[in-house]
Structure 1
Amino acid sequence: MENKIGEWSLEMPVTQEIQKISDQVKPDAEKAVDQKFAVFTAIRYKVLSLCGGTHYLIKVNVGGDEYIHLKVVRVIIAEGNKNIELKGNQYPKTLDDPLTPF
């Protein structure tokens, strides 16, 4: 199900594309919370499409019962070669914490 431009989608199960995006921002997420994660498995996400790019909220399991929420942006016109950027995170989170815009 596609969301309308300017509206967050419902939470959806992760696709290979979303796991790849999560993997790309893992080093930035680890640096932001000053931790190394042995596990970094995306499990759910929401997407928001805007004219300049796509925004993602991604729930990632980082081991055991710990999760991190990532806010990631994929821009259409990127500086250099980086079109995926971590814009924020919320940590620690639980499986039951909803993905809400932050």
Structure 2
Amino acid sequence: MSESPPMMCGGTRAPEPANKEVQDICDEMKPKVEDETGKTYNVFKAKTYASQTVAGTNYFIKVHVGGEDHVHLRVYRPLPHQGSAVKLVGVLEGMSHDEPITYF
């Protein structure tokens, strides 16, 4: 069994398959993404993600939104003691399944 590389503050980890925690973040962000893009998504399935530890965590998430279409989300989760909600920072539309997740 291989171990994940250690988290480095400021460094973005390599992309990995989405898990329940990431899908839960996407489910919470879906209405905000729909507001941002002006679209309604019948499919909103997290596929892969990369994370970056800062004063909280940045998530860069590839989300399948139907057909061949994907969006990339940048979501910020503050540290628990900050008491702030998860925040949608950015959305990249028109992405494909093969587009790599990058910092944006």
Q: Same fold (TM over 0.5)?
A: yes
- Which residue in 2 is equivalent to 1:66? 69
- Which residue in 1 is equivalent to 2:93? 91
2:53 is equivalent to residue 53 of structure 1: no
Distance 1:32 1:9 in 2: 26
How far the C-alpha of 1:69 sits from its partner, in A, is: 0.2
- Aligned amino acid, residue 56 of structure 1: Y
Distance 1:58 1:21 in 2: 10
- Aligned amino acid, residue 23 of structure 1: D
- Which residue in 2 is equivalent to 1:44? 48
How far the C-alpha of 1:62 sits from its partner, in A, is: 0.2
- TM-score if structure 1 supplies the norm length? 0.92
Structure ranking higher in strand proportion: 1
Kindly report structure 1 stretches of 4+ aligned residues shifted beyond 6 Å: none
Distance 2:34 2:94 in 1: 12
| Structure 1: tracts of 5 or more residues without a match | none
Deviations 1:75-99 (A, max 9, x none): 12134xxx21100010011001111
